[in-house]
Amino acid sequence: MELATRVRERLPETIVARDEVTSVVAREDLVEVLGSLREDPELAFDLLSSLTATDWPGRSPRFWLSYELYSVAHRHRLRLKVGVDEDDPRAPSVTALYPTADWHERETYDFYGVRFDGHPDLRRILLPDDWEGHPLRKTEELGGVDTRFKGASVPPVDRRT
Amino acid sequence: MPVERLEGFQAGKTADEAEEDVRRGILLTSLDRAVGWARKQSMWPVTFGLACCAIEMMATGAARYDLSRWGMELFRASPRQADLMIVAGRVSQKMGPVLRQIYDQMPEPKWVISMGVCASAGGMFTNYAIVQGVDTIVPVDVYVPGCPPRPEMLMFGILTLQEKVRSQGRFR
């Protein structure tokens, strides 16, 4: 695949699976790599279509951020994966390059607890501001949670007495 | 106090029993009944469609099922003009305070119908995102089960509520 060959020149750890090109990037190189992928006229990844995380408890690194890139000019896609350790769940913010990353990073922080350094306003975006925990981590408890409302706390119906 | 015998509700009562009714406030009990009847006949719901149940609620209000047969077709966009809240759909944790605020803005007397299993008990959404039963936030008068309930079920719930309003009318 031509795209994979081109990307592999910059990022040696590039695989092709089901016609999808995925590259693994170190956390400290992320901003620089994204910038160069965006500037290169042959690649021109000018759109960050999605940014999310996956959780693999027990593995190292535990969290993998994935950045889904798209080039409007060339109509090709690339996925960057960044491993983030459990003890230090941080990553550099890419909002300066892609403003759309603003809310995506807030959502990833909200649900996985990965903090993005340099983000202009890293708050929770979907859950209430006073929420405790990060519910899409696989170590979080499944099932309904208590209704915490005006100081009261009511358990879900199957745990009520 | 002398009692004037009237035809109708005093029928079958002796003068002493009627006198007793007067002491218990028969005038106000009859007023309660009239007020309950009036309230039942014209109940304005606030629009609170949250999910797929709202589609069934809209269908109930539209031509085929026609809620206006019970004086309820006037869905109000402002809680100040409404006296019934039909919670139609799942309530997310973040929506909970909003729902309560709208409920608090409604003038007394007010009633709540919890429509569908999600609003009543969380339903299939036994997870972190959804309030497990809207009765943890507002007092609910009638629960309508179903996923989503058919318009007939919602209408039955409404008629049940109207019966409650009529029979428990309190002038306050």
Type of residue numbered A1 = M
B96 contacts on A by Cβ (under 8 Å): 147, 149
Q: How far is B128 from chain A (nearest CA, A)?
A: 5
pLDDT given for residue B26 in this prediction: 61
Contact call for A127 and B100, based on CB within 8 A? no
A123 contacts on B by Cβ (under 8 Å): none
Q: A55 has which bridge partners?
A: A63
| pLDDT (average), residues B142-147 | 92
Whether the Cβ atoms of residue B115 and residue B91 lie closer than 8 Å to each other: no
Tokens of B101: 């605020």
State the Cα torsion B8-B14-B18-B19 to the nearest 10°: 160
Q: How far is A102 from chain B (nearest CA, A)?
A: 21
Q: Give residue-wise pLDDT tens across range B56-106.
A: 998 988 889 888 888 787 888 889 999 899 999 999 888 888 999 999 999
Counting one residue from A and one from B, how many pairs have CB atoms under 8 Å apart? 54
Three-state secondary structure readout of chain A: CHHHHHHHHHCCCEEEECCEEEEEECHHHHHHHHHHHHHCCCCCCCEEEEEEEEECCCCCCCEEEEEEEECCCCCCEEEEEEEECCCCCEEECCCCCCCCHHHHHHHHHHHHCCEEECCCCCCCCCCCCCCCCCCCCCCCCCCCCCEEECCEEECCHHHCC
Provide the residue-wise pLDDT of chain A in tens; the chain has 161 residues: 688 888 888 888 888 989 899 999 999 989 999 999 999 888 889 999 999 999 999 888 999 999 999 999 999 999 999 999 988 899 999 999 999 999 999 999 999 999 999 999 999 898 888 888 888 998 888 877 787 777 777 888 777 77
Sign of the torsion formed by the C-alpha atoms of B84, B88, B93 and B98: negative
The residue of chain B with its CA nearest to that of A151 is B137
Reported in sequence order, the residue ranges of B35-77 that DSSP labels E, i.e. its strands, are: 45-46
- What distances in angstroms separate CA A106 from CA A51, A65, A81, one per listed residue? 10, 13, 18
- What distances in angstroms separate CA A84 from CA A152, B24, B134, one per listed residue? 37, 75, 38
CA–CA dist A110, A121 (Å, integer): 12
The residue of chain B with its CA nearest to that of A148 is B93
Q: Calculate ∠ Cα B119-B124-B129, nearest 5°.
A: 70
Q: How far is A134 from chain B (nearest CA, A)?
A: 10
Q: How far is B13 from chain A (nearest CA, A)?
A: 48
Q: How far is B96 from chain A (nearest CA, A)?
A: 8
Q: B interface mutation test: which of A125, A132, A145 has the most B CBs within 10 A? A: A145
* ipTM entry: 0.72
B127 contacts on A by Cβ (under 8 Å): 135, 142-145
Nearest by CB to B132, from A126, A147, A150: name it. Answer: A147
Instruction: Decide if pLDDT at B1 tops 50.
Output: no
Domains in chain B, CATH or no CATH each: 43-166 (3.40.50.12280)
Q: Give residue-wise pLDDT tens across range B100-121.
A: 999 999 998 889 999 999 999 8
CA–CA dist B60, A147 (Å, integer): 30
- Range from A117-126, B12-21, B39-48 carrying the lowest mean pLDDT: B12-21
Instruction: Decide if pLDDT at B43 tops 50.
Output: yes
Contact call for B100 and A149, based on CB within 8 A? yes
Domains in chain A, CATH or no CATH each: 2-126 (3.30.460.80)
- CA-nearest of B46, B62, B72, B49 to B157 is B72
